[in-house]
A and B are shown apart, each in its own frame.
Chain A
């Protein structure tokens, strides 16, 4: 059972830089060999200004940028070894280019406990809103996690 008082709570902002090398590493791990993710030169040869973000690059912002996330969840009474990932959703609001510095604010937007067949489970919805160095909102990342008791 998690601490219901965390619902609606935002944690202190974190910053993360969008990096070409990180996009390339992610694409390679996924097994996507599209050269646009490999280097600026190859992206430009294909008509892009620079290396575009991989569609799931936001997951790297959250894990590498918000290094306090796990301890924040633990403090809220969430057993992180029991987390199942339920949903993940991105809204790409404006272009993000390599070298941009993003500021993310992590908020727990909803949480409820449900009785299941094998015990109760917590269903927690989190959101990270990202703005760039000009203060423009560029990305919204929403996540639903399920914690089996």
Chain B
């Protein structure tokens, strides 16, 4: 595993304990414009995310957000916590559809802490829920953290 010595440190291995909660992230309501921007940024132009007529046609109750946008929200949670270059693994399952105006909250908990060949890792579980507490995304991550000198 490669370590980039110039990567700024957000959190040290010694400072994290199993059971710690990652500071939660509450996102602004999902908007139609955001889905159009996300389509362009990601390259996923499936019209069910941008065209209300398609949403009605296939019975999703209007347009639905890209699942990957919600994974992106969880990515922001992890980026804020450990920094993007510390991530070694990040995976999610998509559990429910997200509609316009939904307010998504991302949370995470540390489930494991271990060392391999002197390198410190933490593992955790993450999730995203809407304003009603309905689960949209659940997942796990592994991050490599530096030791305190």
Contact = CB atoms under 8 A, between A and B. Distances in A.
A85 B8 contact: no
A47 interface: yes
Nearest to A21: B41
Given A54-B79, A81-B58, A30 B89 contact: no
Contacts of B67: 85, 88
Interface string B63-96: 0000111011101101110011101111111100
Nearest to B5: A49
Interface residues of B, number: 40
A92 B42 contact: no
B121 interface: no
B98 to A, nearest CB: 12
A92 B41 contact: no
B84 A91 contact: no
Interface stretch (B16-24, B32-40, B110-118): B32-40
B71 to A, nearest CB: 6
B90 A29 contact: no
Interface string A93-132: 0110000000000000000000000000000000000000
A92 B88 contact: yes
A94 to B, nearest CB: 5
B68 A59 contact: yes
A66 to B, nearest CB: 9
A8 to B, nearest CB: 22
- Residue of B4, B7, B68 with most chain A CB atoms under a 10 A cut-off: B68
Q: State the 4 A-B residue pairs at the shortest beta-carbon distance, nearest first.
A: A89-B91, A63-B43, A47-B8, A55-B75
20 contacts: A22-B41, A26-B72, A29-B42, A29-B69, A29-B72, A31-B27, A32-B79, A48-B8, A49-B6, A52-B83, A55-B72, A60-B41, A60-B43, A85-B67, A85-B94, A89-B90, A89-B92, A90-B89, A92-B89, A95-B2
